[in-house]
A and B are shown apart, each in its own frame.
Chain A
């Protein structure tokens, strides 16, 4: 990742938030003293302020008390004229080539600078966001794991209910069995007594019927023929 202190486009980068987001390949191999163990302070968000793209703001601030607002401009103009008049800087073919190239470069940067900046920033932010997402997911799953473990512990506490249920079942089964036995005893005794009663009734009935039959038979037998004639003659 390149550092973002590009001189020309310094003031064009509106979204320079990734100054701090750069992963700088800062190697500590030069620092031998123990102070280098301190954590690296984060990089500043934006580069130093510049005016007109190349002149740092500190120059203007420096000259302001003595020469006011126009001081640095006068200094610049004076220097330029000095160099031209004394031919310290000679105007030749290269001058026009430099001027044309300069114009094109400035135009290109002014037009395409922001979009390129945004693109580069986006790449960086995507990486950071991915890492952040991994971290968030890991934290969430760990928290969830802790919650689940606590829930399982709570569940384990309820194990005595199972054994209570089992003991209840056993007690109920025993009770049922006991009651069944009681009922069986009563029913058996009742059956025996009822049998006796029924037997007696049967005897009575049989005796009755037999007696009735016998009486009928004897009556029929005792109806002698003369009585039969006597009855017929009455009519």
Chain B
């Protein structure tokens, strides 16, 4: 029976649930129900089947040697283990997921760096009380009045006032 005992790791479903983002909740729930049903099915089956009471049969069955023959053949019989086809696929899926996760992490870090820069800009700004209009236009370029496009005061369309 070597190789049959693939270790069944205990999974902390609570911690797992925390890490699931809200838009994938449905998939997580279906996975959980499936896992639970599989586990329940496994638990319902006893590990070894009940042993056959050979002595009883030997005493009852009249045909000589039949029981002995059965017993011998039964002892020799080995049940083939089911072949595991999926684990390699799962492993390859895991590799891919690791790659995409790494890429996502990179993008995420870049985004964080951007946010940090903007936050620094805001933190280093002089207070509004001490700004001049020039300073304001430098800090927020969108406040600059376009004197070329609207040469007359108020230098912006009336609707924007």
Contacts and interface: CB of A to CB of B under 8 A. Distances in A.
A153 B112 CA distance: 11
A192 B38 CA distance: 31
B132 A181 contact: no
A228 to B, nearest CB: 43
B130 A20 contact: yes
Interface size class of B (residues with CB under 8 A): 35 or more
Contact of B42 (A150, A172, A186): A172
Interface stretch (A65-73, A110-118, A155-163): A155-163
Interface stretch (A47-55, A74-82, A140-148): A140-148
Given A25-B133, A163-B97, A135 B57 contact: no
Given A168-B9, A193-B52, A196-B63, A132 B57 contact: no
A182 B35 contact: no
B128 A128 contact: yes
A189 B111 CA distance: 67
A23 B136 contact: yes
Interface in A189-205: 189-190, 192-193, 196-197, 200
B82 interface: yes
Contact of A189 (B8, B52, B91): B52
B45 A155 contact: no
Given A42-B129, A135-B122, A171-B7, A161 B108 contact: no
Contacts of A131: 128
Interface of B: 4, 6-9, 11-12, 15-16, 18-21, 31, 34-35, 38-39, 41-42, 45-50, 52, 57, 60-63, 66-67, 70, 74, 77, 79-82, 84, 86-87, 90-91, 93-94, 97-98, 101, 104-105, 108, 111-112, 115-116, 118-119, 122-123, 125-126, 128-134, 136
8 contacts: A131-B128, A153-B105, A172-B8, A173-B38, A176-B38, A177-B82, A183-B45, A185-B77
Interface of A: 20-21, 23-26, 28, 39-40, 42, 128, 131-132, 135, 138-139, 142-143, 145-146, 149-150, 152-183, 185-187, 189-190, 192-193, 196-197, 200
